[in-house]
């Protein structure tokens, strides 16, 4: 029997449906992406960090990116995925929270770390304009410059934007509703839009929240754990979080 360890908010929204038919979007190392209407979830094993889109299982499964999973379905709160039937906990298991003052201090730490980081090459051409937008608190301008720019399953610009939005959402919770509305108008992939949606709500992947809770002496190693996520997504996300220290 396979059981769920962690259930992200996106997954809880999907499992709350009495009946839904999904579509497999594709596999990746350690998991598979499924679409249910406007929502996208990732079914993963424990080797993949928990996050708002993730249904984290208690064991790694052999998800073959070239093998289609026909008609994933949700029936009365249970996800039917091929031969598997997966039921998550009744409440969200992955909805971390942090005090704004503590996050602001950690974001300042990241801002100092970022001084030694190079601007992602794919963003170099627009970066001076992005910085001006950040310094003037023109988040819609930063969104338009970064959204969909670069390569990867989630483009580099989206990852930086997610970090920027996440930092603002955590430091100023009163702006979260407006940030969600702002990022939902980003011109990019549907998968990136879902990560951006949750960043606007102040929620990211597990290593990011561990970093925000780390003791001062552990910041560098915790930042390294974020950078190790994905090919370059974690590094770009961290870079964006660091840039949020510039926001007024």
* β-pair partners for 81: 84
| Domain, as residue range, for 56 | 4-87
- How far is the first Cα of the chain from the last one, in angstroms, to the nearest whole number? 51
- pTM, entire model: 0.91
**Are residue 113 and residue 199 in the same domain, yes or no?**
yes
pLDDT score recorded for residue 148: 97
Give the phi and the psi of residue 41 in degrees, each rounded to 5. Answer: -125, 160
**Are residue 108 and residue 212 in the same domain, yes or no?**
yes
**Are residue 108 and residue 83 in the same domain, yes or no?**
no
Count of structural domains, the chain? 2
**Are residue 152 and residue 212 in the same domain, yes or no?**
yes
**Are residue 117 and residue 80 in the same domain, yes or no?**
no
pLDDT score recorded for residue 112: 67
Residue 101 buriedness (CB in 10 A; 0-12 / 13-18 / 19+): exposed
Alpha carbons 179 and 192: distance in angstroms, whole number? 15
- For the CA atoms of 17, 20, 25, 26, the dihedral, rounded to the nearest 10 degrees, stands at 80
**Are residue 108 and residue 177 in the same domain, yes or no?**
yes
Q: What is the pLDDT along the chain (248 residues), one digit of tens a residue?
A: 677 888 999 999 999 888 999 998 887 878 889 999 999 999 998 989 999 999 998 888 776 544 556 789 998 888 988 778 887 665 557 778 888 888 888 888 777 666 657 889 999 999 999 999 999 999 999 999 999 999 888 999 999 999 999 999 999 999 999 999 999 999 999 999 999 999 999 999 999 999 998 888 888 899 899 999 988 899 999 999 989 988 87
DSSP 125: T
């Amino acid at each position: 029997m396979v059981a769920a360890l962690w259930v992200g908010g996106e997954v809880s929204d999907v499992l709350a449906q009495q009946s839904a038919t999904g579509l497999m979007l594709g596999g990746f190392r350690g998991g598979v992406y499924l679409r249910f209407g406007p929502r996208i979830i990732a079914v993963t094993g424990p080797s993949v960090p928990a996050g708002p889109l993730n249904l984290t299982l208690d064991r790694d499964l052999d998800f073959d990116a070239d093998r289609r999973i026909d008609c994933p379905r949700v029936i009365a709160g249970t996800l039917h995925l091929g031969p598997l039937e997966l039921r998550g906990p009744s409440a969200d298991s992955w909805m971390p929270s942090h005090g704004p003052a503590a996050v602001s201090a950690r974001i300042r730490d990241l801002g100092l770390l970022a001084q030694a980081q190079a601007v992602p090459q794919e963003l170099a051409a627009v970066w001076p304009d992005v910085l001006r937008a950040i310094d003037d608190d023109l988040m819609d301008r930063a969104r338009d410059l970064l959204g969909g720019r670069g390569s990867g399953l989630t483009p580099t610009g989206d990852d930086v934007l997610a970090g920027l939005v996440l930092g603002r959402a955590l430091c100023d919770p009163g702006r979260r509703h407006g940030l969600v509305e702002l990022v939902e108008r980003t011109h990019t992939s549907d998968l990136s839009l879902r990560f951006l949606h949750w960043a606007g709500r102040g929620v990211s992947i597990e290593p990011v929240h561990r970093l925000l809770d780390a003791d001062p002496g552990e910041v560098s190693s915790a930042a390294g754990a974020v950078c190790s996520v994905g090919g370059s997504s974690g590094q770009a996300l961290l870079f964006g979080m660091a840039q949020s220290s510039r926001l007024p």
